[in-house]
Structure 1
């Protein structure tokens, strides 16, 4: 016989153990005595036998709590709980309500009779599983194990808990089986099978219910009289329930998260194996509840992430290492013209041409490999055949051992169209500004070409050409050819300056562009300033010839307008070129005009900012120049001081260099 004493003083315990062995020997009952100072020294499920609790005489609530906890961890049908106490009748009754089978004045007596009665009771108990007395229903252990096996192997579908409580109720032949989730100080029902059917239960508080003991003690059993022990639990009274067996559901950290319980309207006995079975069901249910909590948390996190992404006004896309689209915001879906469900899991190759998709993949791989952000302006044709220009920035971020690429993009198709129109309008404005000078440049050679042709016509009408006139005629023809060439060259420069096919890029001869711009400006500058060329040996740059010519004409016009009213010998405009390192060519336009204060230098590249009178300037010239230079991968800088002139420096990438220089305009000290 296993005997456990809890809190018994050492002297009393030694006398108790000696007398117990003597009584046991007299009645042929072998006793194994275990002394414990606290509940923590005892197993979670107490073995069958005699339990002796010592009442130290302090507050009765302390002894009541120990009594309740001992009762919750034992098998009442296979154990006897005796409290050694000197309290009065009212408090003794309270202890019996808390689970004590007997209350004896210390040191107690008649231990032999208790040992005989307990031994007889243990031998009389059948090795059955859960037994409902009075109803004649017996559930064999094999059937319970079979139900557990089927439940364990079942797929965790949406009706997982409903299946579990129904199997428990039917297999064990009890009135009710339920499973609930802890929600603060209450239990929220997950499933309840009562009187052969599923039913709804409102959330109920733990306080004053057997579920509270279950959560605290991991497993709890009241074979009979459970309603009387918990008078505040209205469900027990309303349904006439008499017995209760429950187990706590715990998460992977061992924290209680729910309760599994079976209740009956008849007394309910249980053995050690029954506790193990109900606990196995509880463990399986705990795993499923924790999985659902994690799934719900992931769904909440995913919803929060989606709402966060949707709050970004620009189209945003996230790719995994396999280049698949795994997350995006609503702005990106609108850009693609498709719902989220049709875009998740897809790749660039599902929507763009092979060449475009391959180019995008090379960009992605560069970011994945180097970890460095990448910016680009890509012209793409989507699956509907519509052409788009996207300005994108791709960034790598890692988390949880996973590398992801986030792409923030902007559809600049309409902006590019408007920019093209603005550039063309600016060219026309510049062409209008130069119209008088260009007409004069054409009129000069045209005048002497016309005079020469008239003279030749007069000579040829006489039908006789004397040999002495031939040298003069040859000279006239040569002058005429030169004049026509000058006209053709000027028209070609004007055509190159004003043409609209400015989207093509390639190698550009900087010196040819400078010569063409100076020819267009020759008439306007001839009587106003000296023009100095300071050309170095430079390779072709990557860009567009007409765009670069537009920039240069704008800078020359600005330089000319900045010159004060003085003789041409005192004014100077110098155009210089040189190579700066292996990757860049510098083109500089410098004047010795009025210069600019620092506050104006800081704003000259802003759209619509101008220092000219109303109706004279639009304020777009330098802004467009800056945009053009940046689109070619270059940078424009200015340095100036009042009264000392201004210099605009264009730093342009050499054709064939992979990495263009990115940046904004800079204001440098003179």
Structure 2
């Protein structure tokens, strides 16, 4: 279905033509944007689309062979009719697009999401869009990222147009102020004219916006301008400019940090023409300076997101690799302790050996808790809310931040009795971890005995649950307190923090229905306060457990069961055989295929303990194979996992209702789970043979 024309179609087309970009060659800056869009949204196709009278022309494309299509066949003609992103989860279900040839074709387009490219005058020039051959949807963060990239594309178009215009105008500049006036009308950037003979600097009104009232007190000599450069950049930029002047260059460009009126540092880009006399002696520099902080911050944010994703993946993978050996270490230690206590209690060295083994067991348990906390903070962002033990979540954050805290301050925990909170564990833990790190970085190293970081929990008069992280650090100056939750706002030099942490924390807490507040006094410290709404307001249909569920008590075996254990780690198998073999018959397999072949022989069994992540055939594939052959027995699998560190594994464990234990598991809990499940199954049932009646290897 063809889209109707916008009400301002003629003005929109005139605005589009003013950029002189249609049918131009590909440009790396636009290709970078579509590459980022494809990566951020996880789609095989991404386009920068400009919509003219009759067609949609692709300025940049990823995963698409054609360069343009007719306007009536395109999706983006609909996108330019609105200000918000257009998201089509399944084009075959949308009356506007189900007859579209790109949709109706075999393996056609199913998913589309496009953010309109709206220029400063409000005209929709086209869109940046992502497409897929399967139905899907975007997360809110992906939608916001797509809108941010749309603004970046418009900035690139504006910069491209300004660059073309500036090159044309600078070529015409000689000595007169009239040329400066032309530039002032053509661009919104800071334009300056430096007379090398008098060392005087003149500028246009845009500079007043950057410097505010301070411009009234500015001197007109160039030294005033250089004084505002960041100390780390000043000598380098001046040397670069001196070389360009001395070596006869006609143009000079550089980037540097520049102090604005509010005291923050902006990333500036300057370009100037060097005017010379007939003998080549330099006379004046006429240039333009652009604040490119937002563009650089966006790039840094995308890079940060990729780095954090990589760190999370690495952390989950490391946790998995640690958990496998840790599982058999703890199981063997527990077995050895039991043997010593029961069989060697009278031996002369039994007490000492028991103590050594007990200490080793405690050390392994400490590692298990650290790995558990690491897994919590490495899990990807999701929307899942659950009842949490608040103090457990805080303690997990403290564990990870401890190395930063202990060198700067004493840590004081002031926990009051609070109910369980209904929140997202990963998000809440991330907030507390960042507030702890923020508090630590507000205090210089070397005076830990003189400073304090305090964590307080309490319930206020309205029933809200409060977490307070206070420090005795330098405090926040009053002049910048109103901006600390703004994205990318930071008083740190460029390269020492992007100013995203508090903004992200504010967003995370808000998404959980809470508030992030703060109080600060210079040279005395700061208190950040996470205010979570009363639990019943967020989850009115389910009351929180009043007390944490105690660990299961030792359960006596009700009957001897036949257990199959499937794990690619031989030592895990042997430790479980020792642990469970006293009361049950345990049959072990290092390969899931071998276990499946054994089952298809019709052997009787009660329960299967199966790892999730294994080579050749995973626990997920084993589950699927058993569901096909013996669907009535598939719930008799108990999954044991060292970490679901892939998206597929996480989705699988969230979908199936099988019992699950994480490595390194508590052996008492394992025995209790086995006994509980054995009560639910009939004693040693005969398994039906496979459909074809043949055993498989």
TM-score (norm 1): 0.34
Higher radius of gyration, 1 or 2: 1
